[in-house]
Every structure is written in structure tokens, then in C-alpha cells.
Structure 1
Amino acid sequence: MNAHVFTLAGADLHALPTGALWWPARRLLVVSDLHLGKSERVARRRGTMLPPYETPATLSRLAADIAATDPAAILCLGDSFDDREAADSLTTDDRNAIATLQQNRTWLWVEGNHDPGPLDGFGGTPLAEHREGPLAFRHIATDATPELSGHYHPKASVRGQSRPAFLYDDTRVVLPAYGAYTGGLACEAPVLQKIMRPGAIAVLTGRRAIPVPMPRSAAA
């Protein structure tokens, strides 16, 4: 699977090249920031028409990760939908695809800032945050560690190539955005420099997961 394996609070975690995180001991697959329905939201708010293919593309990649890992549970770390109206806009095919992925598995929706609170018609269990073993899972990083979160859509550049990236240190992990139309925030951004400790690692996604020292700004 070309994953990068690391440890947080005694848990062996696999950063997958797709941007999903796999915890084999718990058979837990974690993704963040799917932003399903983003093309509809962009068209509604900005009048900009994007090809409406991001939701099937995101769900197809998730289906492949599920097939590869056979998880007992899938945990979505917030901003799974671009907003409530975007969720309502999903096609019947998209809704059926989500229902198929949920079959015979526990499915947990952690709420995000784009999709606060439970959403009707999508199955699974809505949560403010989730705790599993020693780890807390939430949408936005806090001071309560060890934790895994999303929200910031981190990306890192190596030799001129910029890619979505995991960030981790000995207290936390920030997952990259999993959605097909999601942008990114460079590792050098002050908020990421602030929350990640010195010595943090960035794991670039793509054909394989590539770990590098997290890029630091000159002021950090």
C-alpha cells in the first residue's frame, strides 16, 4: 500500500498515499474533509460552474481504500459535506454509493465547521468528537492531546512539487483533505507552525506516502 507507518501514544498508524489513515489494530479507517457536494456550493455561492464529478471521484477513492483495508469502522473527521445544502444536493447515485460503503460497518460522522450537527438521510452515527483507545479524534486541533484532526488541509512542497500532506509530531496528527476539489494550506502557514512541534514530519500523499521534515518558515 506504499504507506508510511508511525506511532502516536503507542498506536501504530499508517498514513496511506490517498490521504486516508489506517489503524490496523482497531481496523479503523479515518478520512477528513471530504467536502462532498462542493461543486454545487461553488455554483450556488459564486456562480462558477465546476464539473460535478468530485463527489463520485472522492467516493470511488474511498471505496478503493475500504476494499484494500477491510475496516470494521470508518471515521469521517468533519467537513464531510461542503454545507447542508450541498449535502441535500447529492444525487441518488451518490447517496446509494455512501449507503453501499456503510454496509456491515460502523460509520462515524464527526461534525465539522461546514457540517455542524447531524444530517438526515446519510446513515451512520453523528458525533461531536470520537475517542478510541488513547486517541481523540476531532475536526479542529485543540490543546487536548494526543489527538487526530483535520480542518486545515495541510500541504507540503518538495523539489517544487506541492501535495496534500499528513502532519504529525509526538502529540498530534493533522490529516490532509481527502476530497477531490479541496484546496490546501502550506505547512509554512502560521497556524500550522504554531500547533506542530519542532521535529514534526510531513507525509506527502500521491503514488506513495513520502515522509519529510515538516517545512518551517524563517520566523518559526
Structure 2
Amino acid sequence: MNAHAFSFSGATLHALPSGGLFWPDESLLVVSDLHLGKCARLAEWGGAALPPYDTTETLRRLEDDLAATGATSVLCLGDSFDSVGIGAALPEDDRARIAGLQSGRDWIWIEGNHDRGPCGPGGRHCDTLVRSGLTFRHIATRDGTGEVSGHYHPKAQLFARGRAISRPCFLVDAVRLILPAYGVYAGGLRTDSATLSRLMDAPAQAILTGTRPVAIPMPRL
């Protein structure tokens, strides 16, 4: 499997090229910030007219990761839907694909700031989940230990051949792990922002997504 394996709070985890996180000992695939239905929500509010393929492509990415890992449990770390009501408004084909992915698996939706309350179809819903020593929630805290979260959509800016490139990335220090956004049209916050530079303790690593996940020192202020 193409992944970057690392140890976090006593667990061996695998950062996937897609931005998903696989925990082999728990057969658990963790994804964050899918923002399903984002294009539909923007169109409804009169925003940018983007091709309505974001949900289809994000679900395809999820299908590929489930096939590659064989995960029997899926944990979505919040902002799985771009707004509270958008889950019920997804096209029938997309809702059927979600139901197919859930079939035979333990599926858990964690509440985010975009999708407060139970708004995902099927599965279980919670605000925070503690599993085998790790705590899963949407937004990182300053005093969390063994904490896995999302929300910030971290991206690392690098320079190659005289030009800047940006890559979504995982951020990890001794006590917290932040996942990149899994949704294909999600934006991002640069790791050298004041917010992420203050939140992540030194030394912290950024695990870049892409063709092959690579760990580098976290670019920061």
C-alpha cells in the first residue's frame, strides 16, 4: 500500500496519498472535511458556478481508499457535508453510493462546524470519539493529548525550480494530529499561518499528500 507510516501516541498510523488516514490495528479509515455538496450549496446561494462533480469525485476517492485498505470502519471527522441540509439534497446516485460504502461497515459521523447535529445518512453520530487511546474531534484543542482532528485544511507551501507550489498535508506533533481536507474542492490554510504556527508544537512534521506521501519539517512562521 502506498502510504507513509508513522507513530502517534502509541498507535501506528498510515497517511494516504489522498489525505485519508488508515489505522491498521483498528481497521479504521479516517477522513475529514469532505464538504459533500459544496458546488450545489454555492449554486443555491448564487456563488461561483462550479461543475457539480465534487461529491462524485470525493466519493470515488473514498471508494479507492476503502478498496486499498480493506477498512471495516470509517470515521468522518466533521464538515462531511457543506451545510446542514445538503445531505438530504444530494442526487439520488450520490446517496446510493454513500449507502453502498456504509454497507457492512461501522460508519461514524463526527459533528463539524458546517454540519452540526445528525445530518449524514445512516451510520452513528457523535461530537467526540475516544478509541484505543486516541481522541477524535473536528477542531483541535490546545490541551488535547493523542488528539486527531481536521477543520483547518492545512497546506504546505514549498518552492521548487523557482516557483511556489502548495500541497495539502497532515500536521503532527507529540500530542495532536491534524488531517488535510479530503474533499476535492476544499480550500486550505497555509502551515505558516499564525493560527497553525501557534497551535502546533515544535518540532512538528508536515506529511505532504500527492503521488507519494512525504514527511518534512512543518513550514511555519
What TM bracket, shorter-length normalisation?
over 0.9
Deviates more, 1:70-79 or 1:80-89: 80-89
Ranges in structure 1 where 5+ consecutive residues have no aligned partner: none
Output aligned runs, 1:8-87, within 5 Å. 8-87=8-87
Partner of residue 207 from structure 2, selected from 200, 203, 207: 203
Match of 1:99 in 2: 99
Q: What is the distance in 2 between the residues matched to 1:109 and 1:210? A: 28
Partner of residue 190 from structure 1, selected from 188, 194, 206: 194
Q: Percent same amino acid at aligned positions? A: 54
Residues 170-211 of structure 1: CA deviation (Å, up to 9, x unaligned): 111000000011001000111111110111000110111011
Is the Cα contact below 8 Å between 1:41 and 1:85 reproduced in 2? no
Is the Cα contact below 8 Å between 1:78 and 1:112 reproduced in 2? yes
Is the Cα contact below 8 Å between 2:127 and 2:137 reproduced in 1? yes
Q: What is the distance in 2 between the residues matched to 1:146 and 1:32? A: 17
Q: What is the distance in 2 between the residues matched to 1:85 and 1:3? A: 34
What is the letter of the counterpart of residue 86 of structure 2?
A: A
Q: What is the distance in 2 between the residues matched to 1:40 and 1:184? A: 20
Q: What is the distance in 2 between the residues matched to 1:197 and 1:2? A: 28
Match of 2:176 in 1: 172
Is the Cα contact below 8 Å between 2:144 and 2:175 reproduced in 1? no
Residues 125-182 of structure 1: CA deviation (Å, up to 9, x unaligned): 0111111111000000012211000000000022222111000011110000000110
Ranges in structure 2 where 5+ consecutive residues have no aligned partner: none
Q: What is the distance in 1 between the residues matched to 2:184 and 2:86? A: 15
Q: What is the distance in 2 between the residues matched to 1:63 and 1:187? A: 28
Is the Cα contact below 8 Å between 2:85 and 2:119 reproduced in 1? no
Confirm whether residue 137 of structure 1 aligns to residue 136 of structure 2: yes
Confirm whether residue 181 of structure 1 aligns to residue 185 of structure 2: yes
Instruction: Indicate the RMSD between aligned Cα atoms, in angstroms.
Output: 1.0
Q: What is the count of residue pairs matched by the alignment?
A: 216
Q: What is the distance in 1 between the residues matched to 2:189 and 2:116? A: 22
Q: What is the distance in 2 between the residues matched to 1:201 and 1:46? A: 39
Match of 1:123 in 2: 122
DSSP 3-state at the match of 1:84:
coil
Q: What is the distance in 2 between the residues matched to 1:115 and 1:138? A: 13
